[in-house]
């Protein structure tokens, strides 16, 4: 190719990827020589081959919901603690506090945490050791149980182990097969890559994700607002975001069936709420009638096509179950639907 054919940022048919505002971008390409573009295309093809393999790995990985974490903790980990004399449970903040709290309640023992000076402190409330059910708790002999939600490299367990000279057990709900040596008990092995509902929007994997908009970042537009242009504009401008779904790092991109004519309001809203993204793909305004005639099919096809074109994207987070199923079938790649109880 002798010269760049792209008039603006967007998907490039030559490089088979999104050319965003970040260099090397479409503006770089316009000023590059044929040799520079050829070398960059070879680099893109190598990256795309690697990303295809990574996408297949993601497809074979697991998505663990919070509900499944609790089930696995109760049904798989708790039975392994039978017969042990546990006098208290220590949760490794933050995510380790969830299984630690559940185990402490099931065993009816106090839950502890370590302060910055490594002092062991009980989680107090109505009583020294918790709520009213611990009012008559006098303490007991036995071992402490240190628990985390996952053990991947074993760093947290290695750091906390020297703190304890007394009898202590180490446990986790999920463990990387190569890290089993760092724990005494675990519910199940969980090889990478895997995605966890409770930190899905806080993990670095979000950088490799495409996200739906309405239903993910904020509630879906009410039906009555969709029937009136001004009500629709007022809604999408003023709707509050879901606080637990604001990514802590930049997501790969946002793909929405909102019409392109609402781009300015949508970009303003994203900036206002601190949501960072690589690109925003919106449904063509001129195809509004086509979209509205069969919304689920047309929206899912639109999103699946963008997903297929985005080699950097390993998975898609979609709010609607019917669309999620169709995007998965059309793209052959991983799709997560947080609204489903099992994802």
CA distance 249 to 233: 28
Closest CA to 89 of 64, 58, 71, 111: 111
| Predicted local confidence at residue 126, as pLDDT | 44
Most confident of 30-34, 151-155, 163-167: 151-155
Predicted confidence band at 232 (pLDDT cuts at 50, 70, 90)? very high
Three-state DSSP class for residue 26:
helix
- Cross-strand pairs, 113: 121
Q: Is the peptide bond before 111 cis (omega within 30 degrees of 0)?
A: no
- For the chain, the average pLDDT equals 85
Contact between 209 and 327 under an 8 Å Cβ cutoff? The reply is no
User: In this structure, are residues 63 and 320 in contact, taking their beta carbons and an 8 Å threshold?
Assistant: no
Q: Which fold has domain 200-336?
A: Rossmann fold (3.40.50)
Mean pLDDT, rounded, for 9-31: 69
State the residue for tokens 């495409």: 210
Span 237-243, average pLDDT: 96
Q: Is 337 exposed, middle or buried (0-12, 13-18, 19+ CB in 10 A)?
A: buried
Q: Answer yes or no: are the C-beta atoms of 249 and 206 closer than 8 Å.
A: yes
Q: How far is CA 116 from the centre of its chain?
A: 28
CATH architecture of 66-194: 3-Layer(aba) Sandwich (3.40)
Q: What is the pLDDT of residues 168-210, one digit of tens each?
A: 999 999 999 999 999 999 999 998 888 899 989 988 889 999 9
Domain limits, the chain: 66-194, 200-336
Q: Which two tokens stand for residue 119?
A: 């002092």
Q: Please state, in angstroms and rounded to a whole number, the distance separating the CA atoms of residues 343 and 337.
A: 5
In DSSP notation, 159-213 reads HHGGG--S-EEEEEEEE-GGGGGG-SEEEEE-PSSEEEGGGTTTSGGGGGEEE-S
Q: CA-CA distance, 169 to 192, in Å (whole number)?
A: 25
**Helix, strand or coil, per DSSP, at residue 39:** helix
**What percent of the chain has a predicted confidence (pLDDT) above 70?**
83
Are the folds of 66-194 and 200-336 the same?
A: yes
Contact 149, 96 (CB under 8 A): yes
């Amino acid at each position: 190719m002798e010269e760049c054919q792209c008039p603006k940022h967007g998907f490039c048919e030559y490089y088979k990827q999104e050319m965003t505002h970040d260099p090397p971008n479409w503006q770089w390409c316009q000023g590059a020589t044929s040799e520079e573009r050829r070398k960059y295309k070879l680099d893109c093809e190598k990256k795309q081959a690697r990303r295809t393999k990574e996408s297949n790995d993601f497809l074979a990985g697991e998505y663990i919901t919070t509900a499944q974490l609790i089930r696995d903790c109760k049904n798989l980990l708790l039975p392994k603690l039978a017969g042990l004399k546990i006098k208290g449970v220590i949760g490794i903040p933050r995510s380790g506090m969830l299984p630690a709290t559940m185990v402490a309640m099931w065993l009816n023992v106090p839950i502890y945490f370590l302060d910055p000076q490594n002092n062991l402190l009980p989680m107090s409330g109505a009583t020294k050791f918790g709520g009213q059910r611990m009012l008559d708790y006098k303490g007991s002999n036995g071992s402490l149980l240190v628990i985390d939600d996952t053990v991947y490299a074993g760093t947290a367990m290695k750091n906390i182990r020297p703190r304890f000279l007394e009898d202590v057990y180490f446990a986790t709900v999920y463990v990387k097969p190569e890290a089993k040596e760092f724990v005494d008990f675990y519910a199940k092995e969980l090889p990478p890559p895997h995605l966890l509902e409770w930190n899905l929007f806080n993990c670095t994997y979000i950088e490799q994700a495409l996200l739906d908009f309405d239903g993910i970042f904020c509630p879906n537009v009410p039906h009555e607002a969709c029937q009136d242009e001004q009500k629709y504009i007022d809604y999408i401008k003023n709707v509050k975001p879901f606080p637990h779904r604001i990514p802590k790092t930049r997501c790969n991109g946002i793909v929405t069936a909102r019409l392109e004519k609402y781009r300015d309001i949508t970009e303003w809203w994203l900036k206002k709420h601190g949501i960072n993204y690589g690109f925003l793909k919106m449904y063509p305004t001129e195809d509004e009638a086509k979209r509205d005639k069969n919304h689920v099919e047309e929206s899912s096809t639109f999103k699946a096509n963008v997903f297929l074109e985005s080699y950097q994207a390993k998975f898609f987070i979609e709010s609607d179950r019917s669309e999620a199923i169709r995007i998965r079938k059309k793209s052959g790649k991983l799709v997560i639907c947080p609204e489903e109880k099992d994802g």
